[in-house]
Amino acid sequence: MMRLAAVDLGASSGRVMAGAVGPGVLSVEEVHRFPNGGVRVAHGGGSTLHWDILGLYREMLTGIQAAQRGGELAGLGIDSWAVDYGLLDASGALLGNPVNYRDSRTDGIAQRVAEVVPARELFDITGLQQLPFNTLYQLLAERDLGSAETMLLIPDLLNYWLTGVRGAERTNASTTQLYDVRSGQWATGLASRLGIPSRLLPPLRDPGSVVGTLLPDLAAELGLPELPVVAVGSHDTASAVVGVPAEPGTNFAYISSGTWSLVGLELESPELGDSALAANFTNEGGVDGTIRFLRNVTGLWVLSESLRTWEAQGTPMSLPEVLAQAAGVPPLSAVVDIDAPVFLPPGDMPARIRQACVDTGQRPPEAPGEVVRCILDSLALAYRRTVRQASELTGRPVDVVHVVGGGVRNELLCQLTADACGVPVLAGPVEAAALGNVLVQARALGADLPDLAAMRALIRATHELRRYEPSGRESGWAEAAARIDSRVVA
C-alpha cells in the first residue's frame, strides 16, 4: 500500500489529506485544514484583492509534515483553483503577491481583446468559456510584465518552491485561454498578437508526470524525505472529475460542487461549434486527454458570502440553521439567475438577491431561510439549464447526474438537483478532488491503475454514494425558469 499526501487548495479553504492506495484500498484522511480567501490591500487610491500565497505555502508545509508523521509518504501532489498565477523574475524570485481572480482589474479587458481577436476565433483556438478572470485577461491587466520572466499557475508555483523545477501542468494550463486545445501546446501566436511575451509560458507537463523531488535543504529543514512531487490534475476540477465514480458506459453528467459548481460532461474531444460558443461552454483539458465540457455555475459562493454578510451585520447564522429554515420555505417562491455577473465579486449577496427578484417582478426573500431557499432553488435551476444545454450541444443523453465535492453534504441541494434535472442524482464522494489527486499520484508511482475506469471502479468499491430520485414535479421548474430567462430550454 502507498501513502500519499494530497494538497487540495480551494478558494475558501485549503487542506492536506493523507491518502492510502493499494489493491482494493483507497482512502483519504484530512490531516490539516486552513482557511483561504481574498486579502484586500490598498494602494494609491485603489485596492487589489490578493491571495496570501506565502501563508498558503506555510500551511501546506505544515500539512505535509503532519501527513508524514502518520506514516512514511511515497509522494505528494498539489491541486488548486485555476487561472491565477505568480510571476517570477529571471532569478526565479516571486514578483508581487498573486492577485485573486475576483479582483476587478480585468473589468472591460475581454471586450478589448475581442477587438483584436474575435470571440469566435479565440474560442476556436482555446475552447474556453468567457470568464472575466481568465489568465489571458489577467495578464493583460498587469501594469508591467517587463521584469517578469515566467508565469507559474498556483500549483506550479508551489511545486517550484518545493522542487526548484518550473513548468505548467496541462489541465490547469488549459484554463488560461493561452493554450491551444487541439494541439495541446501554448497558443504562442495568440499570445504574441495580444502582446504577451511567450517567454512567460513555461514548458508544459502532463498530469501524472513527476515534477521532481523535494529540494534537499527544504526536506532537511522540514524533517521530510526527499519525496517525489507528482504533477496531478493540478486544476482542482480536473482532479475532482477523476474522482467522479461513474460506471463505464453510463450517460452521466457531473457537478463538481464547491465554491463554484462546474456542470458538464466528459468528452473525448473538444466541442467547438457556434452553439457551444453561444452557450458559453468551455473545453478544459482533463486527465488522460479527456475534455471537460462544462459551464461554471456560480456555486455555494453565494451562500458562503451570505453567511459572511449576516455575520458582518451582527446577525450571524450557522449553515445547519439556515438550511433547516430553507427546507421549510415553499419551493420556487423566488428564483434568480445565479450566473449573473452581479454575484461574482464579494459583497452583500442577500441585498443583491433581493434586487434581482425585484427586477424580475418577484417578491424578494426577506428572512435568511427564504434567501437561502432562493439560492438553492436558483442553483438547481441553473444545473437544470446547464445539464440540458450540455446534452443538446453534444447530442448525448444524460441519465444520471453525479454530484461530487463539498456540496454533497447539502442534502436539500442534492434533492433539488434531482428534481430540477428530472434524473437521479448520485452524490459522493465529498473528497473527489483529493481522491483524484492521490489516484493520479499512485499511478505515476507505479500502482496498477491503468485508466480512469480503473480509478473510478476503486472509488465505487471503497466509497458509499447516496442516490436521490427526482420527485417528478417537472412543471414548477419550467415555470420558474421562464421567470428569469427567456432563452431557457423548456
**What is the binding site for ligand LFR (CB under 6 A)?**
10-11, 81-83, 101, 235-237, 258-260, 262, 296
Q: Which is nearer to ligand LFR, 68 or 177 (CB)?
A: 177
Find all residues with CB under 8 Å of 189, minimum gap 6, and list them: none
What is the rounded CA–CA span in Å between residue 432 and residue 465? 12
Contact 310, 349 (CB under 8 A): no
Closest contact distance (angstroms) between CB of 262 and ligand LFR is: 5
What is the rounded CA–CA span in Å between residue 362 and residue 406? 30
Q: Which is nearer to ligand LFR, 256 or 394 (CB)?
A: 256
Q: Which is nearer to ligand LFR, 135 or 150 (CB)?
A: 135
Catalytic residue at 236? yes
What is the rounded CA–CA span in Å between residue 383 and residue 367? 25
Q: Where are the beta strands (DSSP E) in 36-120?
A: 39-43, 46-50, 75-80, 85-88
Closest contact distance (angstroms) between CB of 84 and ligand LFR is: 6
Find all residues with CB under 8 Å of 461, minimum gap 6, and list them: 24, 26
Q: Which is nearer to ligand LFR, 262 or 439 (CB)?
A: 262
What is the chain's length? 490
The grid coordinates listed for 270 are 473538444
Contact 334, 364 (CB under 8 A): yes
In the chain the first and final C-alpha atoms are separated, in Å, by 50
Question: In this structure, how many other beta carbons lie within 10 angstroms of the beta carbon of residue 395?
Answer: 7
Which residue is it, cell 464579494? 346
Closest contact distance (angstroms) between CB of 433 and ligand LFR is: 8
Burial of 167 (0-12, 13-18, 19+ CB in 10 A): buried
Q: Which is nearer to ligand LFR, 235 or 352 (CB)?
A: 235
Closest contact distance (angstroms) between CB of 256 and ligand LFR is: 7
The grid coordinates listed for 464 are 458509499
What is the rounded CA–CA span in Å between residue 144 and residue 465? 49
Which residue is it, cell 518550473? 166
Closest contact distance (angstroms) between CB of 222 and ligand LFR is: 27
Q: Is 434 strand, coil or helix?
A: helix
Q: Which is nearer to ligand LFR, 259 or 378 (CB)?
A: 259
Closest contact distance (angstroms) between CB of 244 and ligand LFR is: 14
Q: Which of 79, 84, 236, 337 is catalytic?
A: 236
Closest contact distance (angstroms) between CB of 106 and ligand LFR is: 12
Classify residue 160 as left (phi > 0), alpha (psi -120 to 50) or beta: alpha
Q: Where are the beta strands (DSSP E) in 408-451?
A: 425-427
Q: Which is nearer to ligand LFR, 6 or 73 (CB)?
A: 6
Q: Which residues are catalytic?
A: 236
